[in-house]
Amino acid sequence: MEGPPKKIKVEGAPIKKSLDDPLETARIELENPPAHDEWDAMITGGEIPPSETAVPQEEPPAPNEADEERPPIGRWRMEESPVESPLQGGEAFTEAVAQVENAPPQETTPAIFGITPEELAQTEGWGELSEGQKRLALENLKQITLARIKEESAGRYKKNITEEKTGKALWRRMLIGMRENFAKSYTTLKLEKTVAEELKEGGMAMHGEVLAQVVRAAKNGPEVEIKENGEMEFVYLSEKIAGFSVEFSPEDHEKTEAYNSAATEFARIPDEWKYEVASDRQRR
């Protein structure tokens, strides 16, 4: 006849119970019940008084002002005084651009890029433009100038690096290339600021040809209407079509306004979208 089963002793570390276990949590609460006034506060939803056995919480140490002013470890020193790009709000170029963007609708001929209102008035075709078309021409001049800054600074950067490498030994050229892997962005921003300073007050000598092109394009393009919020909207359809005047009904006006709004939004799509290799940033 077999006897009672033997107890097997398992060697090893004891099993620790997790405090996340609801049974274990209930056992701890029953073994250490709260005081009577704490029970009342829990039931009535009032403020729970501090327990006599509660461990006082230490206040966190006050931040050291010297630590707050100290830059994080590993941050480049050039970040303390960055050179702002004119394409990202640099003061060298933004002031001139703001004269156009902040101008009220009735004043569309401010001094811009060193071009005075008198010189604008003498530009061929300027007087034939409407107020909206003048705003459009100046906006196009601004955008083209921004692109010129990028193109000119990139060209100067490439030329400077080529001249620096000319006649140098192989190891010197390699060192220059390694240096520019880290400093290219910083050097490009400096060149953009220099070019922006030159174009900021370039006047008709630097902007005359581009100004003539944007005025001619605005003259041959659709009418531009300035909305109450200051935005421009192209008027592709109106009561004056191809030199003929027609009378629109209220329903026709509603349809033409919807069409003009949709056409304006479509016209703002960047030209890069049509290329298959366009990046996500260009498609924004």
Q: What average pLDDT is seen over the chain?
A: 70
Q: How many CB atoms lie within 10 A of CB 225?
A: 17
Rounded mean pLDDT of 11-28? 49
Contact by Cβ (8 Å): 133, 219: yes
What is the model's pLDDT at position 249? 82
Domain ranges for the chain = 81-222, 236-284
**pLDDT > 70 in the chain, percent:** 53
Q: CA torsion 22→27→31→32, rounded to 10°? A: -10
Predicted TM-score (pTM) of this structure: 0.53
What is the model's pLDDT at position 185? 86
Contact by Cβ (8 Å): 187, 157: yes
Which two tokens mark 283? 């498609």
DSSP notation for 151-185: HHHHHHHHHHHHHHHTT--HHHHHHHHHHHHHHHH
What is the model's pLDDT at position 281? 60
What is the model's pLDDT at position 82? 44
- Of the pLDDT bands very low, low, confident and very high (cuts 50, 70, 90), residue 267 is confident
Q: How many CB atoms lie within 10 A of CB 167?
A: 8
Contact by Cβ (8 Å): 189, 83: yes
Enumerate residues 6+ apart whose C-beta is below 8 A from 18.
Answer: 24
Residue of 201, 183, 182, 202 lying closest to 191 (CA atoms): 183
Task: Give the whole-angstrom CA distance, residue 145 versus residue 138.
Answer: 10
Task: Give the whole-angstrom CA distance, residue 114 versus residue 204.
Answer: 7
Task: Give the whole-angstrom CA distance, residue 262 versus residue 258.
Answer: 6
What is the model's pLDDT at position 124? 92
* Three-state secondary structure of 44-112: HCCCCCCCCCCCCCCCCCCCCHHHHHCCCCCCCHHHHCCCCCHHHCCHHHHHHHHHHHCCCCCCCCCCE
Q: pLDDT tens, 96-155?
A: 555 545 544 444 455 788 898 899 999 999 999 999 999 999 999 999 999 999 999 999
Rounded mean pLDDT of 159-176? 87
Q: pLDDT tens, 197-256?
A: 988 888 899 999 999 999 999 998 888 888 888 888 888 877 666 555 667 788 888 888
Residue of 100, 278, 129 lying closest to 215 (CA atoms): 129
